[in-house]
Amino acid sequence: MQSTFDERNWLVWLVKVRIFILTLLLAIELAVAEFSPGPLPMRLFLSTILFWYSLSLFYVLLLSFWQEHRIQAALQVVTDLFLVSLVIHETGGWDSSLNFLYPLVIIVASVLLPRIWAGLVAALAFILYGTVLELNYYGVVPSYCSTHPGLKALQAIIFVNLFAFLAVAYLAGLLTAKLRQVRVELKDASGALKNLQALHEHIIHSISSGLITTGLDGRITLVNAAAQKLLGLSAGELEGAPVDQLFLDPLPSVELHHTHAEVRFETTAKFRKTFRVRVAALTVPDGAAFGFVYAFDDLTEIRRLEREVRTQDRLAAVGRLAAAIAHEIRNPLTSIAGSVSMLSGVPEMNEEHRRLLDIVTRESQRLNGIITDFLAYSRTKQYRFDKVNLAQLVEDTLTLMDHRMEAEKTGITIQRRFSVTDATTLADGDKIKQVFWNLCENAVRAMKDGGRLTVAIESLGEDWQVSFTDTGMGMTPQQIEKIFEPFQSNFEGGTGLGLAVVYQIVQAHEGKIWARSKPGQGTTFVLRLHRLDTERPVPAPQTAPSRAVAADALHAPAATAAAAGRLDG
């Protein structure tokens, strides 16, 4: 197919060259006839040139519907020989200066046709040229010659041209053969280069790790498919951009002998990822560096799992401690509260004494509330899984929050962005409501001067995603990392157990929860729970394992009552 495509291009090129030469010859002959009148039959000459033009246009049309390009090339060469002979006859025979057109036709034949055709065309050119001269010499046809050479001179002209035609045919055939050989070798080399380039690209784009190459100026020159997927950007968006502006942290440097590092990257959806990046110099065989190559892997999920393991370890330790705290503090606290109650009835006490007793009473109640929260966090939790609609649970929670915000005149508005109205999952509805309430409570506390709470529900793959976004004060990365650990409250008067309980409930539902925030730019809590329409085992009603031993021995009837209202982040 490539050969046919090349022959067609050559034929088109031949028509263009022919038209150019005909136009040039016509202009020259008209100029000569104008300034030095001779025996040139102008009408016959113009008719021949116009016929040649028409034939060239016919050949162009023929290329569109006849695919035998080799036959077309032979046809054009033969017709050109006959028309060249006719033009030489009309311009003076042996006096004509246009016999150089024969070598041009021979060269064209050697390019378009097999090598043997160059010799055949040269022989045919010799026959036609000799025939024209012989017919003119013997007066068989009208002669337009201005001179009359002798027979020997005529024979000399014929045989000199014969030698010239054969020499041109030989040299043109030899040169064309060399060019064809070089062309074949070039095609082979080009094919090998393309195969090597394709292999190189396949290897680069098949690597599971992200790969970015840059020049010495740090601008990106190549990005593989894995890097585009990890970064969420296309090659067009990345190529040419400075690589150091992609990430939030400094990249490793070859010059500083610091070849690997962990860096953060913020996606277009404002979600932060953690990458492990390795850098190496991009060198040529002589050792000279002309750029750098960066390979990176996504550690976001690994780091998240590590944080979860650390959080669960801390939660387990706190759970075990909660029982001991309840034993050691609550019993003496009960005695203190009883004693204070008896003292408050003594009539001899003055106002100062009563004020001090009130302080002791309030602080005892606050300490009792903290212990109650400990028990709510550590005691055994019963889960009753059933088919629930997350959208309805969120709407119930937000309705209560609407009434509360209106009653307290907090200046906080609630915006709903539900892309679905039926978000069915298997869950304990009461526990999930507790999660929603605590997340809303944290958002309200973060917006002391009013703001907007945006709650969104959407389908994401096999999960439902529920997000709570406030316009509050935001958090630092250090606070986000420890947000689900106990005793990490950011609010005055909070115990720091609310989000720890939320984390427990979400873990029991095999879900995921995380926070995104920047100081001064609000906070978003994202919760994901499995969809009911995905193929997952249905969990039976279960009891979540206690994180504290002997929790059932602690008589804390107020523990569950405080769980929804008193727990905060």
- Position 480 pLDDT exceeds 90: no
> 199-208, 487-496, 507-516 — which one is most confidently predicted on average?
507-516
pLDDT on residue 426: 92
The domains found in the chain, sorted by start residue, are 2-187 (no CATH), 207-298 (3.30.450.20), 300-569 (3.30.565.10)
**For 355-362, which contacts have Cβ atoms below 8 Å and span 24 or more sequence positions?**
360/336, 361/337
pLDDT, one tens digit per residue, over 251-296 is: 888 877 778 888 988 888 777 889 999 998 888 777 778 889 999 9
The better pLDDT of the pair 29, 567 is held by 29
- Position 378 pLDDT exceeds 80: no
- Position 563 pLDDT exceeds 70: no
> 35-49, 140-154, 223-237, 547-561 — which one is most confidently predicted on average?
223-237
Give me the mean pLDDT over the 153-168 stretch: 83
- Position 562 pLDDT exceeds 50: no
pLDDT on residue 37: 67
pLDDT on residue 491: 61
The better pLDDT of the pair 39, 242 is held by 242
pLDDT on residue 558: 31
pLDDT on residue 525: 93
Going by the DSSP 8-state scheme, the letter that residue 39 receives in this structure is S
Alpha-carbon distance of 518 to 495, in angstroms, equals 23
CA-CA-CA-CA torsion sign (323, 320, 504, 485): positive
Give me the mean pLDDT over the 399-416 stretch: 88
In the chain, count H helices and then E strands.
16, 14
pLDDT band at 488 (very low <50, low <70, confident <90, very high): low
Alpha-carbon distance of 125 to 213, in angstroms, equals 61
Q: How far is CA 397 from CA 416, 436, 455, in A?
A: 12, 7, 11
- Position 529 pLDDT exceeds 90: yes
- Position 178 pLDDT exceeds 70: yes
pLDDT on residue 468: 94
Least confident window among 114-123, 440-449, 463-472, 501-510: 114-123
One DSSP character per residue, 463-476 reads: EEEEEEE--S----
- Position 338 pLDDT exceeds 60: yes
pLDDT on residue 546: 39
Beta bridge partner(s), residue 466: 457, 527
Backbone angles phi, psi at 357, to 5 degrees: -65, -35
pLDDT on residue 489: 64
pLDDT band at 99 (very low <50, low <70, confident <90, very high): confident
pLDDT on residue 557: 29
pLDDT, one tens digit per residue, over 105-144 is: 888 888 887 878 888 888 888 888 888 888 887 878 887 7
Beta bridge partner(s), residue 418: 457
**For 123-126, which contacts have Cβ atoms below 8 Å and span 24 or more sequence positions?**
123/165, 124/78, 124/81, 125/81, 125/84, 125/165, 126/158, 126/161, 126/162, 126/165, 126/166
Alpha-carbon distance of 525 to 310, in angstroms, equals 20
Give me the mean pLDDT over the 352-356 stretch: 77
pTM over 0.75: no
pLDDT on residue 380: 60
pLDDT, one tens digit per residue, over 48-75 is: 888 888 888 888 888 777 777 788 888 8
Least confident window among 149-153, 305-309, 368-372, 392-396: 368-372
Residues 6+ apart with CB under 8 A from 455: 394, 398, 414, 415, 416, 417, 440, 466, 467, 468, 469
pLDDT on residue 527: 93
pLDDT on residue 427: 92
Radius of gyration over every alpha carbon of the chain, rounded to an integer in angstroms? 47
pLDDT on residue 232: 87
Give me the mean pLDDT over the 335-348 stretch: 74
Q: What angle in degrees, to the nearest 10, is found between the helix axes of 2-35 and 42-65?
A: 170
Whose tokens are 């976004």? That residue is 469
Q: How much is the mean pLDDT over the chain?
A: 79
The better pLDDT of the pair 466, 541 is held by 466
H or E stretch covering 155: helix 151-206
pLDDT band at 395 (very low <50, low <70, confident <90, very high): very high
Percent of the chain with pLDDT over 90: 13
pLDDT on residue 567: 32
pLDDT on residue 547: 37
**Three-class DSSP labels, 487-509:** CCCCCCCCCCCHHHHHHHHHHHC
